[in-house]
Amino acid sequence: MATRRDIQDIIGLPGGGDTPAPKKRAKTAGPQKKLHGVNREVAALYGERPPPVAVYEEKKTYRAKRANLGPVRPWIQQPFTNPARTDGLVLKHWRRKPTARPNIENGGDTAMEDADNQSPQLETDYEYARFNVDVSVPSYTDEEYEAHLRSNEWSREETDYLLELAKDFYLRWPVIHDRYEFQSAKAEPADDAASAGDSILENPTDALSTLPYNSSLPRDPRSIEDLKARYYFVWETTLKLHRPPEAMESSEFELLEVLHSYNPDSEHVRKRIALALMSRPLDEVKEEEFLLAELQRINIAANRLDAERAELRERLEAPTPQRDLGPAGPLGNFQSSQALTALFQQLFQQDRSKKRASGSGRLSLSAGDIIGTPTAAQQAAYNAAAGSRKASMAHPPPPQPQLRALSAAEERRYGVSNHDRLTSGVSFGSDKLVKMRQAKSGVQTQKIAAVLAQLGFGDIITIPTARVGAAFEGLVAKVGKLLDLRKVREKEENEVKVLDGMRAKRAGEDPAATGSAPPQHGRDSTETQERDMKQEERDESLMEQSIADSTVGAETTYAEDGEGGDDAEGEEDDAEGEEDADGETNATSTRQVSEAVSTRAATTPAASVKAGHKRSASVLSAGSTRSRASTKRARK
């Protein structure tokens, strides 16, 4: 190709071929670079300097490149059939034309034309056909119906009709009930027969078809509960016919249970209540909201009080009083797994309501409150009511699988351990041990440290296994109790001293004045105080007893608990030996009380408490003996 320079050469012009290009370049690289996207006037304000903010030219910077997707792919109206249909209806939708043969280069235009004129292939696997789901309704043969499903209230035709509707409306019971218009002269129940017969006479059947949809057909007497009950009964029966309950899988059996537990009467009652709830006047609704708010407030206060009390009780760790309750006492209530589940639910619920109390409470009625399922209570009621039907079942439900309780030995053997919920991440056993030494107040922490030092524990426990940790925890708990006891004791000694002083004073004055019954009088004045003291002492003795119990528990035999009690009594005597010096009038009564309590505690199988003691004691026997020794020392 001839360039400009060539032409210049040919014409004979002076060869200035190099000059124009640098000029151009200089022009474009000049300082007056025009800014795009900025007003001319605004740009003039900048002067010579570059703009203070970098101005990006949007057009150049951010325009996305047009994706090159290859040659144009045409769309076609693709005919398709839907496998969910039985009639082979062919519909058309727009689809990309399937890519033609690969050798387009060779075929050229003629090949394209061929492809265009060919009618598109029929598409037969329709992707949305998978949404064609059907409900399966129970089916039965004539013999099965005669043998198992006959009913006085339901004819075979009506049952068939019900099943058909259930299938048509996908078990949507409100709709089934709405469309339920079974017409059979002989199937009409007696109470409705008269009115139904009349209207049928008035409207011959051929006229019925021309009536509008919701023509005033005889009001069907079947409630939605009746329909459900019949359907569930049929379902349950056919399920059992096809496979005996013993051979069923758990899911099937659960279904059977659910079906069996449906009780139309209780549903009726429930709906009546729900209706009453819904049709309250406005002021009642307002009142309820107000009361709910009030209840919430009370609950919050009660929960707080409970929490405080529980904390106090925990601190003192008095065994729960178990008067006049035998093995079926408070704990006996919770021996079955069901009861335990209920207890857990209750606790969980409390916990949740406590949490919710801080947030906003829900006051209004919502759908979830009204729609319910048959509950266990309803099931029980239904079982009682439909006893005859149950008897005819003759298939007792299989026993519930029992949870096996492991003994301590087995637990050790299988390496089973129970612990609190673990937090995420790594935690060290030694951290736990350190934490145990800490008390709420610094003074208390120091005291605990002092006692531990006295017992000969170093700051670091070398191998903090789980068992060591548990043992240490028990020890620290006992140390805490010991410190509490010391405090109480000091307080009471002081009080007794004061009272003694008062009595001595009065003894010096009184005999002259009354002379008749000085001790009685003195007793009156100090009665309340003494009662308090008795209470305290009893608590004290219980504490000691439990400590002693754990000591003896090292041998971990049930029978030895009695000995433990004795041991505790012995110790009691020791303790009271000191008390004797204080008040001779109440010493004997105190002893009686404490003896009574300790023996009772020893003989009653307080399973959980004892188990805890045993476990800790088995490891801790040496330690706790020492701690007992230290207790005594401290007292003396």
Q: Note the residues at the interface with another protein (CB under 8 A).
A: 82, 84-85, 87-94, 109, 113, 116-117, 126-129, 131-132, 168-170, 172-175, 177-179, 209-214, 224, 271, 274-275, 277-282, 285, 364-367, 370-371
In three-state secondary structure terms, 81 is strand
| N- to C-terminal Cα separation, the chain | 123
Q: 98 or 397: whose CB is closer to another protein?
A: 98
Nearest distance in Å: CB 171, another protein: 10
Tokens of 360: 């906003």
Q: 277 or 455: whose CB is closer to another protein?
A: 277
Contact, 159 vs 230, CB < 8 A? yes
Q: 280 or 531: whose CB is closer to another protein?
A: 280
Q: 175 or 310: whose CB is closer to another protein?
A: 175
Nearest distance in Å: CB 125, another protein: 13
The number of beta carbons lying within 10 Å of the beta carbon of residue 361 is 15
Q: Which amino acid is at 630?
A: S
Measured CA angle at 144 (ends 139, 149), to 5 deg? 85
Nearest distance in Å: CB 216, another protein: 10
CA distances from 550 to 175, 419, 457, 613 (A): 68, 21, 20, 5
Nearest distance in Å: CB 225, another protein: 10
Nearest distance in Å: CB 308, another protein: 38
Nearest distance in Å: CB 229, another protein: 15
According to DSSP, residue 133 is labeled -
Q: 36 or 97: whose CB is closer to another protein?
A: 97
Nearest distance in Å: CB 154, another protein: 21
According to DSSP, residue 123 is labeled B
Query: Distance (Å, rounded) from C-alpha 181 to C-alpha 416?
Result: 63
Nearest distance in Å: CB 62, another protein: 16
Give the DSSP H or E segment for 282: helix 282-316
Nearest distance in Å: CB 173, another protein: 8
Q: 231 or 457: whose CB is closer to another protein?
A: 231
Q: 61 or 209: whose CB is closer to another protein?
A: 209
Nearest distance in Å: CB 371, another protein: 5
What residues have CB less than 8 Å from 339, skipping those under 6 apart? 333
Query: Distance (Å, rounded) from C-alpha 434 to C-alpha 458?
Result: 11
* 98-135 as b/e: b if 16+ CB within 10 A: eebeeeeeeeeeeeeeebeeeeeeebeebeeeeeeeee
Q: 101 or 413: whose CB is closer to another protein?
A: 101
Cβ-based burial of 546 (10 A; exposed 0-12, middle 13-18, buried ≥19) = buried
Q: 170 or 348: whose CB is closer to another protein?
A: 170
Q: 23 or 63: whose CB is closer to another protein?
A: 63
Measured CA angle at 494 (ends 492, 500), to 5 deg? 100
> At how many degrees (to 10) do helices 466-513 and 442-455 cross?
110
The number of beta carbons lying within 10 Å of the beta carbon of residue 344 is 11
Phi, psi (deg, nearest 5) at residue 576: -70, -25
